[in-house]
Amino acid sequence: MRRRDFLGAVPAAVMGAHAQQQPVTNRPNIILIYGDDVGWGDLGCYGARSIRTPNLDRLAQRGIRFTDAHSSSATCTPSRYALMTGEYPWRRPGTAVLPGNANLIIEPGRPTLASTLQKAEYVTGCVGKWHLGLGKGEVDWNKEIRPGPIDVGFDYSFIIPATGDRVPCVYVENQRVANLDPSDPIRVSYSDPVGNEPTGRDHPEMLKQKLHHGHDNTIVNGISRIGYMTGGHAARWVDEDMADVLTRKAVTFIERHSRQPFFLYFGSHDIHVPRVPHRRFSGKAACGFRCDAMQQLDWCVGEIQRTLEKLKLANNTLIVFSSDNGPVLNDGYLDGAVERLGSHRPAGPWRGGKYSNFEGGTRVPFIASWPARIKPGVSDALVSQLDLMSSFAALTGSSLPAGASPDGQNMLPALLGESKTGRDHLVEHASALSLRVGQWKLISPNKGPAVQKNTNTETGNAPEAQLYDLSADPGETKNLAHSQPARAKDMLNHLEKLRSGPRAARA
Ligand code: NG6
Ligand code: CA
């Protein structure tokens, strides 16, 4: 792989003639801003009244706001896996929510969203939440950690290895823990305590945010996490500063690469738990820390927009904003999200949320803005994050090798608002698989519980198939599988074909 120094520009000789042959509007900078657990209804432009998101609303006013866009799963790791590879995550064992010491689940060298853009001479950067695993075998956090983002297409990376609520609570910059003091080495375990660090289980009195379920291991910054860690004190993040740190890294990446096409994947930690926004934001929204964190995320979006404007890049930058899964209120900490909710509806009109087979699980906000090319509007086209790799390949003229993005489709005309037609079908993924075809949704039978008690999520699991007409019943309340058995059977068969492979389904 060609090496690029993230501090400097790509040398002209490397850029080559290819870059000059294409008209500038076919090579926008691309910024993918990926919220964590942000629901369809959490943005002002999607109807939120208790949360103010002026920067996201402005993005929507200048671009296309999608009403039927989906993450590839109702949780993080599988959604991100699909985003990066164009492969449905349920085809691949090992892509469920990962512990913080898991190994990289994308094979090094495999074509990814990032490597596809690299091939088109983009400089690629990843800032923020990763949660796709790192390294091979037992990870030594005190050395270079390979394979990592650089091995799957990112020239530069500054990442949270897993989630905000999982150890190790450190940033990893270009495959090394940032600010690590070698005399205070890091050890991590997901099975047994390491070192003498206090845990939330034994020392609840030390916690600044109490836990509700799980999250009772090592305490870092007054918050107990999933997993145990010791050492690395100078490298540990401060949750309150995380949005500032990540935004600064994102802005710096943009500034350093303002003279060449760049791709920035900005994985915000907001509004995942623990929700500990900076004091500039805490107490500002009407519905508690979860909503404060959303306003903090909106600020990050504004900083990125302002940077583009300052550098005169705003016109020719494609910004996509979306979320990795639907919303959840109580995801393990007692942060007031349930008590302070009021009339706010995080999933908008959709039933369920994160973890759910109902629409709230994967129907997420999705905005695409590119002033030089996209005419503002609202689109009801069925689109999926699964298609970004194929669509960006088409946009930048990067050819995909055989087998790359196996389930992705080129949805560029829909993404740019030049067509109202999106996918003719989509498989949604939570504990069961569901099939969407037009207004119809079929949730396949699943033996899991109907309600996930800890998070109070309606999962949509049922032992029988469920068929819903989303145009008449967006809240998925009337199961039509018995009154329309032929349609239900057809859709189950179709889903079965898709499950056994994309080729079979296309035949
Ligand atoms: C769950 C965690 C939850 C959250 C989720 C992953 C417990 C009890 N719950 O296992 O708090 O971390 O995993 O969220 O540990 S995601 O957005 O990264 O998928
Ligand atoms: Ca998430």
For tokens 């009337």, the residue is: 478
Predicted local confidence at residue 25, as pLDDT: 55
Kindly state whether residues 46 and 152 are assigned to the same domain. Answer: yes
Token pair listed for 490: 């057809």
Among 75, 132, 211, which residue has the most ligand 1 atoms within 8 Å of its CB, making it the best to mutate?
Answer: 75
Kindly state whether residues 281 and 342 are assigned to the same domain. Answer: yes
What is the pTM for the complete model shown? 0.94
Last residue of a domain, one of 376, 391, 415: 415
Note the helical H segments in 121-263: 242-256
Q: With a 6 A CB cut-off, is 97 part of the ligand 1 pocket? A: yes
Separation of alpha carbons 155 and 178, rounded Å: 17
Separation of alpha carbons 245 and 233, rounded Å: 17
SS3 225: coil
Looking from the CA of residue 165, the nearest atom of ligand 1 is 12
**Going by C-beta distance under 8 Å and a sequence separation of 6 or more, which residues neighbour residue 72?**
78, 79, 81, 82, 83, 88, 89, 362, 384, 385, 386, 429
Any domain includes 20 = no
Angle at 76 (CA atoms; ends 471, 46), nearest 5 degrees: 40
Looking from the CA of residue 76, the nearest atom of ligand 1 is 19
66 CA from centroid of ligand 2 (Å): 19
Kindly state whether residues 154 and 191 are assigned to the same domain. Answer: no
Any domain includes 66 = yes
Q: With a 6 A CB cut-off, is 271 part of the ligand 1 pocket? A: no
- The type of residue at 494 is H
Instruction: State the CATH number of the domain containing residue 454.
Output: 3.30.1120.10
Any domain includes 134 = yes
Kindly state whether residues 222 and 236 are assigned to the same domain. Answer: no
Any domain includes 214 = yes
Separation of alpha carbons 329 and 331, rounded Å: 6
Asked if residues 162 and 130 have their Cβ atoms less than 8 Å apart, the reply is yes
Predicted local confidence at residue 501, as pLDDT: 76
- Count up the domains in the chain and report the number: 3
CB atoms inside a 10 Å sphere around CB 174: 17
- Please provide the DSSP assignment of 295-348 as one string: HHHHHHHHHHHHHHHHTT-STTEEEEEEESS---S-SSB-SSTTTT-TT--TTT
Q: With a 6 A CB cut-off, is 36 part of the ligand 1 pocket? A: yes
Kindly state whether residues 141 and 71 are assigned to the same domain. Answer: yes
CA-closest residue to ligand 1 atom 17: 76
Any domain includes 281 = yes
Separation of alpha carbons 176 and 171, rounded Å: 8
Among 98, 159, 165, which residue has the most ligand 1 atoms within 8 Å of its CB, making it the best to mutate?
Answer: 165
Neighbour-count burial of 221, counting CB atoms closer than 10 A to its CB (0-12 exposed, 13-18 middle, 19+ buried): middle
- Please tell me the total number of residues recorded for the chain in this structure: 507
Separation of alpha carbons 412 and 392, rounded Å: 7
- Break the chain down into helix, strand, coil percent, rounded to 5: 25, 20, 55
Q: With a 6 A CB cut-off, is 89 part of the ligand 1 pocket? A: no
Kindly state whether residues 301 and 158 are assigned to the same domain. Answer: yes
Angstrom CA distances, 272 to 35, 269, 291, 332, stand at 9, 6, 11, 10
CB atoms inside a 10 Å sphere around CB 162: 27
Q: With a 6 A CB cut-off, is 214 part of the ligand 1 pocket? A: yes
CA-closest residue to ligand 1 atom 15: 214
Last residue of a domain, one of 415, 437, 465: 415
Kindly state whether residues 367 and 239 are assigned to the same domain. Answer: yes
- The type of residue at 115 is S
Kindly state whether residues 179 and 191 are assigned to the same domain. Answer: no
Q: With a 6 A CB cut-off, is 99 part of the ligand 1 pocket? A: no
Kindly state whether residues 272 and 351 are assigned to the same domain. Answer: yes
Separation of alpha carbons 177 and 161, rounded Å: 10
Last residue of a domain, one of 201, 230, 259: 230
Instruction: State the CATH number of the domain containing residue 114.
Output: 3.40.720.10
Any domain includes 9 = no
Q: With a 6 A CB cut-off, is 279 part of the ligand 1 pocket? A: no
Kindly state whether residues 287 and 226 are assigned to the same domain. Answer: no
Asked if residues 56 and 35 have their Cβ atoms less than 8 Å apart, the reply is no
Taking alpha carbons only, the member of 352, 337, 315 closest to residue 428 is 352
Q: With a 6 A CB cut-off, is 163 part of the ligand 1 pocket? A: yes
Among 72, 76, 275, which residue has the most ligand 1 atoms within 8 Å of its CB, making it the best to mutate?
Answer: 76
Any domain includes 476 = yes
**Going by C-beta distance under 8 Å and a sequence separation of 6 or more, which residues neighbour residue 483?**
none
Kindly state whether residues 225 and 237 are assigned to the same domain. Answer: no
Kindly state whether residues 380 and 302 are assigned to the same domain. Answer: yes
Q: Tell me the average confidence (pLDDT) per consecutive run of 10 residues in the chain, 507 residues long.
A: 33 35 67 98 98 98 98 98 98 97 97 98 98 98 98 98 98 98 98 97 98 98 98 98 98 97 98 98 97 98 98 97 98 98 98 98 98 97 98 96 96 97 98 98 97 98 98 98 98 97 51
User: What protein residues have CB closer than 5 angstroms to ion ligand 2?
Assistant: 36-37, 76, 324-325
101 CA from centroid of ligand 1 (Å): 15
Looking from the CA of residue 75, the nearest atom of ligand 1 is 19
Q: Which domain holds residue 215?
A: 187-230
Phi, psi of 38 (to 5 degrees): -85, 125
Neighbour-count burial of 142, counting CB atoms closer than 10 A to its CB (0-12 exposed, 13-18 middle, 19+ buried): middle
Separation of alpha carbons 183 and 498, rounded Å: 53
- The helix or strand, by DSSP H or E, that contains position 170, with its residue range, turns out to be none
Phi, psi of 302 (to 5 degrees): -60, -40
- The type of residue at 94 is G
Any domain includes 206 = yes
328 CA from centroid of ligand 2 (Å): 9
